[in-house]
A and B are shown apart, each in its own frame.
Chain A
């Protein structure tokens, strides 16, 4: 494969001596792809982005972006990157255009060039109508898009987007997805974080799942889905029938059902989707168990984490080659 454009090697970062935000994270991103960092709140996604964008020094490890050692030569690294942080960093009292032009100037573009580029990216991100209004009149989603526009103005080789679609309405979200895909078609490499599995699924060529600072899975979207076994069934039954139900589910689905501590909701992978659901309903009906609630769900991030971290007894860590020959750590649910 091509030389990786982002290389992270054994990065560790501890805050205040106790919060381990990143624990020995190693990953590589090949050029021209969208790479997704998937993880729940506090997983360490933002921390990793901040290390890669020269904002934070890790305790140990190496990081390289576009052939530049981020820790040894942050100045050069900054010329190669664009960053749209988790919270829009735009000036309320400037217009959208002034914001983007200013960032262009700070990338070293001439006045004329920064005006031209600002016009292009604002157009591209569909903010041209609002470009000459003060940002304080923008909606939250418009501000995020503006932030994204600003991160593009310097033509970065690698673009870091921290939760680019959080707080954006569904339509604009698709817009942003399209924009990101276009960027990659143009040769930019995008490293983005998200809390949404569907976003990682739709958008990212490769996905790294992190939790509590550790990389727990790395691979393509299909790899990730394999570890999940596709859809899941969620159901609730009267408490006195729960044990019986779990036994039945185990037999049908060939996997260990999990029970939510608080809601007592039972979750079980449904390898064949609707067919598995039908089987379950028939079997329960035959046993005169009437679920109080039942539904078929595509895997959510919760399911990913339940599967990847929730059951140490049933999961086994394997070192195995990922499809393109690189070594990656994956947890596979043993069934």
Chain B
């Protein structure tokens, strides 16, 4: 088999846009195949949010139900689902950090860096595949939610738009996680590191309960931070304007959430790319 050896083909030089896109898709496919081949990964990462869903609905539902705005139609689950979608989006983004550190520690990133591929493809492919994966988990949650009584109060279009906002947020969050992964590098250590930004943002927010009962200093933070804004955007789209704090509009919250996501991307994409360049020395 002499064909194996002839060193003739001149390779390509700088990555053009079509090549970049192609490389991103190749990496995305590779990452998604992992999810398909390790179904327990998806199952396990879906069980956790669904467990949250069931626990919160049945444990807190009765106690909290009374304090909810009328837009929730008296059902805690209607209030909870938009919050949990965003929580799942944020937690799910942690996979980006995990996936990157695994690739780093196994030398796969070294191989990629020695190939004439687009430099941006490793990170872009990673965040894209995690977006698709999180979209799957979020959809699954929605199905379980509907099965145990969730009903949107606006329109199907509102529901779909709400899920899209959650996905945008998830994608932006993935880039924060990519930066953390490249900073920490070690797959075990990163497990702990990814919770650092996620826990305060998810719990000091309107994900589980309305913010009215929080102490005022915390409430100021909680009402304005990206997770609450995004959750409120979802609630506005799915439950109607009555679910929002007085004075807030659905459009306002949606735009603010998108603005936050854009801000996160503007800060963390360049940061992650820089860290990636330096990651292997």
A residues with CB within 8 A of B? 53-57, 75-76, 78-81, 83, 85, 87-91, 93-94, 98, 102-103, 105-108, 120-121, 123-124, 134, 150, 152, 154-157, 182-183, 185-188
B26: contacting residue among A54, A88, A105, CB under 8 A = A105
Could you say which interface size class chain B belongs to? 35 or more
Does B113 lie within 8 Å of A155, measured CB to CB? no
Does B115 lie within 8 Å of A106, measured CB to CB? yes
Instruction: Give B1-26 as 1s and 0s: 1 = Cβ < 8 Å from A's Cβ atoms.
Output: 11111111111111100010011001
Chain A residues positioned under 8 Å from B30 (CB to CB): 91, 94, 98, 102
Chain B residues positioned under 8 Å from A83 (CB to CB): 111, 114
Does A107 lie within 8 Å of B13, measured CB to CB? no
Does B5 lie within 8 Å of A56, measured CB to CB? no
Does B33 lie within 8 Å of A98, measured CB to CB? yes
Does A183 lie within 8 Å of B12, measured CB to CB? no
Contact of B108 with A by CB under 8 A: yes
Chain A residues positioned under 8 Å from B26 (CB to CB): 102, 105-106
B11: contacting residue among A55, A78, A152, CB under 8 A = A78
Does B106 lie within 8 Å of A80, measured CB to CB? no
Contact of B70 with A by CB under 8 A: no
Q: B118 → chain A, closest Cβ, in Å?
A: 9
Interchain CA distance A215-B270 in the complex, whole Å: 40
Across the interface, name the chain B residue whose C-beta is closest to A158.
B7
Q: A93 → chain B, closest Cβ, in Å?
A: 4
Does A103 lie within 8 Å of B3, measured CB to CB? no
Interchain CA distance A78-B116 in the complex, whole Å: 5
Across the interface, name the chain A residue whose C-beta is closest to B10.
A79
Does B110 lie within 8 Å of A121, measured CB to CB? no
B residues with CB within 8 A of A? 1-15, 19, 22-23, 26, 30, 33-34, 37-38, 106-108, 110-117, 280-281
- Using known A-B contacts A55-B110, A91-B30, A102-B30, determine if residue A75 contacts B116 with beta carbons closer than 8 Å: yes
Does B3 lie within 8 Å of A120, measured CB to CB? yes
Total contacts A-B at CB 8 Å: 112
Chain B residues positioned under 8 Å from A185 (CB to CB): 5
Chain A residues positioned under 8 Å from B8 (CB to CB): 155
Does B13 lie within 8 Å of A120, measured CB to CB? no
Does B6 lie within 8 Å of A187, measured CB to CB? yes
B114: contacting residue among A81, A87, A105, A134, CB under 8 A = A81
Across the interface, name the chain B residue whose C-beta is closest to A103.
B115
Interchain CA distance A134-B36 in the complex, whole Å: 12
Across the interface, name the chain B residue whose C-beta is closest to A185.
B5
Does A188 lie within 8 Å of B7, measured CB to CB? yes
Does A93 lie within 8 Å of B38, measured CB to CB? yes
Does B113 lie within 8 Å of A54, measured CB to CB? yes
Across the interface, name the chain B residue whose C-beta is closest to A105.
B26
Chain B residues positioned under 8 Å from A98 (CB to CB): 30, 33
Does B13 lie within 8 Å of A76, measured CB to CB? yes
Does A121 lie within 8 Å of B37, measured CB to CB? no
Chain A residues positioned under 8 Å from B111 (CB to CB): 83, 85, 89, 103, 150
Across the interface, name the chain B residue whose C-beta is closest to A183.
B5
Interchain CA distance A93-B32 in the complex, whole Å: 11
Does A182 lie within 8 Å of B114, measured CB to CB? no
Does B116 lie within 8 Å of A89, measured CB to CB? no
Does B114 lie within 8 Å of A91, measured CB to CB? no
Across the interface, name the chain A residue whose C-beta is closest to B14.
A75
Chain B residues positioned under 8 Å from A155 (CB to CB): 4-9
Does A91 lie within 8 Å of B7, measured CB to CB? no
Q: B281 → chain A, closest Cβ, in Å?
A: 6
Does B4 lie within 8 Å of A108, measured CB to CB? no
Interchain CA distance A134-B34 in the complex, whole Å: 11
Does B13 lie within 8 Å of A79, measured CB to CB? yes
Does A107 lie within 8 Å of B38, measured CB to CB? no
Interchain CA distance A222-B13 in the complex, whole Å: 40
Interchain CA distance A56-B281 in the complex, whole Å: 6
Q: A11 → chain B, closest Cβ, in Å?
A: 15
Across the interface, name the chain B residue whose C-beta is closest to A52.
B114
Across the interface, name the chain B residue whose C-beta is closest to A109.
B9
Interchain CA distance A103-B22 in the complex, whole Å: 13
Across the interface, name the chain A residue whose C-beta is closest to B8.
A155
Across the interface, name the chain A residue whose C-beta is closest to B11.
A79
Does A54 lie within 8 Å of B33, measured CB to CB? no
Interchain CA distance A181-B5 in the complex, whole Å: 11
Does A120 lie within 8 Å of B4, measured CB to CB? yes
Does A107 lie within 8 Å of B11, measured CB to CB? yes
Interchain CA distance A287-B165 in the complex, whole Å: 93
Report 21 cross-chain contacts, Cβ distance below 8 Å, ordered by A residue.
Answer: A78-B116, A79-B10, A79-B116, A83-B111, A88-B107, A91-B30, A93-B34, A93-B38, A94-B30, A105-B22, A105-B26, A106-B23, A106-B112, A106-B117, A107-B11, A107-B115, A120-B4, A121-B4, A134-B37, A156-B7, A183-B4
Chain B residues positioned under 8 Å from A89 (CB to CB): 106-108, 110-111
Q: B41 → chain A, closest Cβ, in Å?
A: 10
Interchain CA distance A88-B107 in the complex, whole Å: 8
Interchain CA distance A103-B112 in the complex, whole Å: 8
Does B7 lie within 8 Å of A55, measured CB to CB? no
Chain B residues positioned under 8 Å from A81 (CB to CB): 114
Interchain CA distance A315-B111 in the complex, whole Å: 41
Does B107 lie within 8 Å of A85, measured CB to CB? yes
Chain A residues positioned under 8 Å from B19 (CB to CB): 108
Interchain CA distance A37-B128 in the complex, whole Å: 41
Interchain CA distance A85-B26 in the complex, whole Å: 21
Does A108 lie within 8 Å of B280, measured CB to CB? no
Interchain CA distance A185-B1 in the complex, whole Å: 11
Interchain CA distance A109-B6 in the complex, whole Å: 15
Chain B residues positioned under 8 Å from A78 (CB to CB): 11, 114-116
Interchain CA distance A233-B72 in the complex, whole Å: 89
Does A188 lie within 8 Å of B5, measured CB to CB? yes
